[in-house]
């Protein structure tokens, strides 16, 4: 790629930054932002945010981040919401840099690496979730990207990789099954089971200061299932003769099967496919879940990624009240689900075609 390509990529990143800032300054308070204020009010008076509200479903790390951001907002004289959105912007900027670094590490040119980071940083789903809705799922993805980078850079750096994976679970445990991929890989580099299981121990240990709230933690964190929307396996909950947790069992089985089926793939692609399986079988859904595979998709762009981005962008744009559960236009929840299925099937098709080509 030429200097002109590099200049265009940089211009695209700057344009994406401008768009994100426009979203940031026009964002309005939503359900989750109101939840963060409730959590902070409980923190400031020394209460238990696991017991006193049903709106906190994560490890204590995010509560600590909120506390730090609220103090920073006070010092800077800005609103808490704006401080959170700027934080999310910074997180996504670091993720974009990690994507470029991973691609450069794989031998791609600097312009090509910049275009890869642009595919993520300018992606409408990433922009909306981080800089409009203000959700922090991107923080977990950032740590996952760091783990992939360290595995590919230095296969013997198990402590560093385990630390990045622990950070991913602590930020938001959307990557619950991903450490297993790092251990079950068919090819080197792979993590030892001790290193792969340590992130789970760190995640569980983070709740120890709140052990008196263990019943609430079990209900709020480990039993949380997202929204009951007409999506994926959710209709199975209406089948009277099926056990109540059928969708959860199906989800766990599908995720573990994905770990086993994808362990022969390149690690980044395996992590991407596992996210797609998780999105297909998740026992509950929220709109911002759809940002999960976007950063990894920027590492492996193709038709599936493009179709997914287009359909899910239309889902958000045509459903301005999506968080209020009012979906008047297509594509609705099932359109989003089929977009995930298409992306997974396209990746499997491409994977099998490449395998056949290598065999001939």
Mean of pLDDT values over 333-349: 95
Measure the CA–CA gap between 156 and 189, rounded to whole angstroms.
Answer: 8
Place of tokens 């991913």: 168
CA torsion, ordered 52, 199, 290, 245, to nearest 10 deg:
-60
Tell me the pLDDT of the chain averaged across its residues: 91
pLDDT of 37 above 60? yes
Task: Tell me if 169 sits within 8 A of 176, measured CB to CB.
Answer: yes
Measure the CA–CA gap between 330 and 326, rounded to whole angstroms.
Answer: 12
Note if the bond before 114 is cis, omega within 30 degrees.
Answer: no
Mean of pLDDT values over 133-146: 96
Measure the CA–CA gap between 196 and 151, rounded to whole angstroms.
Answer: 12
Whole-number pLDDT of residue 185: 86
Whole-number pLDDT of residue 331: 78
Mean of pLDDT values over 124-132: 95
Q: Where are the alpha helices (DSSP H) in 206-302?
A: 214-217, 246-261, 267-281, 294-299
**Beta bridge pairs of residue 285:** 227
pLDDT of 359 above 80? no
Mean of pLDDT values over 288-303: 96
What 3-state class would DSSP assign to 325? Answer: coil
Please state, as a whole number, how many other Cβ atoms lie within 10 Å of the Cβ of residue 211. Answer: 8
Whole-number pLDDT of residue 330: 61
* The two structure tokens encoding residue 137: 């799922």
More confident call, 70 vs 357: 70
Note if the bond before 315 is cis, omega within 30 degrees.
Answer: no
Could you say which DSSP state residue 46 is in? T
| Main-chain dihedrals φ then ψ at residue 204, nearest 5 degrees | -65, -40
Mean of pLDDT values over 188-208: 92
* The two structure tokens encoding residue 14: 């700057």
Which pTM value belongs to this model? Answer: 0.94
Q: Where are the domains of the chain?
A: 3-352
Mean of pLDDT values over 246-254: 96
Q: How sure is the predictor about 262, in pLDDT bands with cuts at 50, 70 and 90?
A: very high
Mean of pLDDT values over 79-101: 96
Mean of pLDDT values over 339-347: 97
Measure the CA–CA gap between 129 and 10, rounded to whole angstroms.
Answer: 23
Whole-number pLDDT of residue 327: 46
Whole-number pLDDT of residue 1: 55
pLDDT of 323 above 70? no
pLDDT of 194 above 90? yes
């Amino acid at each position: 790629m030429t200097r002109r390509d590099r200049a265009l990529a940089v211009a695209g990143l700057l344009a994406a930054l401008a768009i994100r800032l426009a979203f940031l300054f026009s964002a309005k308070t939503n359900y989750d932002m109101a939840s963060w204020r409730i959590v902070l009010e409980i923190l400031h008076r020394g209460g238990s945010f696991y017991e006193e509200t049903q709106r906190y479903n994560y490890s204590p790390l995010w509560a600590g981040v909120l506390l730090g951001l609220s103090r920073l907002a006070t010092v800077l004289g800005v609103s808490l919401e704006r401080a959170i959105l700027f934080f999310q912007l910074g997180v996504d900027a670091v993720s974009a840099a990690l994507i470029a670094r991973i691609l450069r590490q794989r031998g791609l040119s600097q312009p090509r690496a910049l275009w890869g980071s642009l595919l993520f940083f300018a992606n409408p789903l990433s922009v909306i979730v981080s800089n409009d809705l203000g959700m922090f799922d991107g923080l977990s993805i950032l740590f996952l990207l760091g783990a992939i980078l360290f595995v590919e850079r230095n296969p013997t750096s198990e402590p560093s990789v385990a630390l990045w994976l622990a950070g991913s679970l602590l930020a938001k445990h959307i990557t619950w099954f991903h450490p297993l991929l790092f251990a079950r890989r068919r090819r080197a580099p792979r993590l030892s089971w001790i290193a792969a299981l340590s992130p789970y121990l760190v995640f569980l240990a983070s709740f120890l200061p709140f052990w008196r709230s263990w019943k609430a933690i079990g209900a709020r964190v480990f039993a949380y299932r997202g929204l009951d929307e007409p999506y994926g396996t959710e209709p199975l909950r209406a089948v009277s003769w099926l056990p109540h947790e059928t969708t959860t069992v199906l989800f766990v089985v599908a995720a573990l099967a994905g770990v086993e089926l994808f362990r022969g793939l390149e690690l980044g692609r395996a992590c991407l496919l596992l996210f797609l399986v998780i999105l297909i079988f998740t026992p509950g859904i929220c709109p911002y879940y759809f940002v999960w595979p976007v950063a990894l998709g920027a590492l492996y762009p193709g038709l599936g990624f493009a179709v997914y981005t287009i359909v899910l962008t239309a889902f958000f744009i045509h459903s301005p009240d999506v968080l209020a559960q009012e979906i008047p236009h297509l594509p609705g929840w099932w359109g989003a689900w089929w977009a995930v299925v298409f992306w997974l099937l396209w990746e499997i098709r491409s994977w099998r075609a490449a395998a056949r080509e290598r065999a001939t």
